[in-house]
Amino acid sequence: MGPLPKRKHSSARRDKRRAHDALTLRHLVRCDNCNEYKPAHEVCPHCGTYKGRQVVQIEEE
């Protein structure tokens, strides 16, 4: 048999360990073309441009 804990870890001890596990928000920047917010280093989901070039054709709804 492997080693087993003698006592139950308290919820405070457990929660202190999990203090750094929260998800962080994505870094958003303004698109150079349409001025909407988009994720950095990705194609703009609003206008379809990347680094000043039209990469994806966005369908108008």
The pLDDT tens digits of the residues spanning 7-54 come to 999 999 999 999 999 999 989 999 999 999 999 999 999 999 999 888
Per-residue pLDDT averaged across 53-61, rounded? 81
pTM assigned to the model: 0.56
Who's near 10: CB < 8 A, 6+ residues apart?
Answer: none
The pairing of beta strand 28-30 with beta strand 49-50: unpaired
Q: Is 60's pLDDT higher than 80?
A: no
pLDDT(55) > 90: no
Show the DSSP H helices in the chain as ranges. Answer: 11-17
